[in-house]
Amino acid sequence: MCSFGWSWTLQTNMEAKPSQGLYPLHRCKTIHLVRHAQGIHNVAGEKNHDAYLSEDLFDAHLTPLGWQQVDNLRKHVKASGISNRIELVVVSPLLRTLQTAVGTFGGESYRDGVDATPLMKAGAGNSDRPAIPSLNCPPFIAVESCREHLGVHPCDRRSSITKYRELFPAVDFSLIETDEDVLWKPDIREENKDIAARGVRFMNWLSTRKEKEIAVVTHSGFLYQTLNSFGNDCDPAVKSEISSHFANCELRSVVLVDKCMNSSDPPVTNYPGKIPSGEDLPSDIADEKK
């Protein structure tokens, strides 16, 4: 009797404020969002914001401290088991994001007698790093739609795809339509509402992918504007967990739910039941038929 009363009170309190979401598992993906490590533009911009207008920061590369941040994030994804589960790495086609992506999620060291195309050639992007192998790691694909704010700041203008293919041979650049950067304009800075809309389209594209666990290596502004489009139905503290600004080389894991049937993947864990077939009239339906 006491137990029944407690459970009824608990049920009543839970019903007073619905706080959960329930979705089919096959319509959910785990997305590991990563902001790039410290770049030379971050250091210069911290000292003087006008430095972001300098051509010296064109397609900014990582600093030595940034590479240390990458090393530490790599240790984390290894220790946590994330690296074993990721099926795809999506990366913004700028030097700092490419370096962060391959440094964090790239393959193991070369072994005797094993030859594989490197993800990154030795010394790429003014680094002192050895070549990063593509052995035993997920595929990497570069996508323009997760770039930083477009325009005005030279650090956000990318190099040619021809150059990137030379530096990052095992990264797939096939989804990028033009060799040169035609999206970046010297006198027009992309507005926040436009990058947010671009980010939502990017998330919709992710939902169509077959992979269930994906890493995305991108930028602070892109993440902040995109993620603020989500979580409006959550408690403010939960929305803040989703959309607050990222630190350099921060990783934040979220679940992306396809509510609009973007994906056609069938459920792989569901079981149809009734094998072999037999009488199966549920009692609640029987009551309705009385």
Which residue of the set 32, 36, 61, 153 is catalytic? Answer: 36
Whether 26 is catalytic: no
How far apart (Å, rounded) are the C-alpha atoms in residues 69 and 71? 5
How far apart (Å, rounded) are the C-alpha atoms in residues 256 and 137? 23
What is the bridge-based pairing of β-strands 28-35 and 251-257? antiparallel
Residue 79: count of CB within 10 angstroms of its CB? 9
How far apart (Å, rounded) are the C-alpha atoms in residues 207 and 209? 6
Burial of residue 252 (CB within 10 Å: 0-12, 13-18, 19+) is middle
Give residue for tokens 């939960």. 238
Which residue of the set 32, 41, 61, 148 is catalytic? Answer: 148
How far apart (Å, rounded) are the C-alpha atoms in residues 213 and 89? 9
How far apart (Å, rounded) are the C-alpha atoms in residues 103 and 106? 6
How far apart (Å, rounded) are the C-alpha atoms in residues 256 and 277? 36
Whether 76 is catalytic: no
Give the active site residues: 36, 148
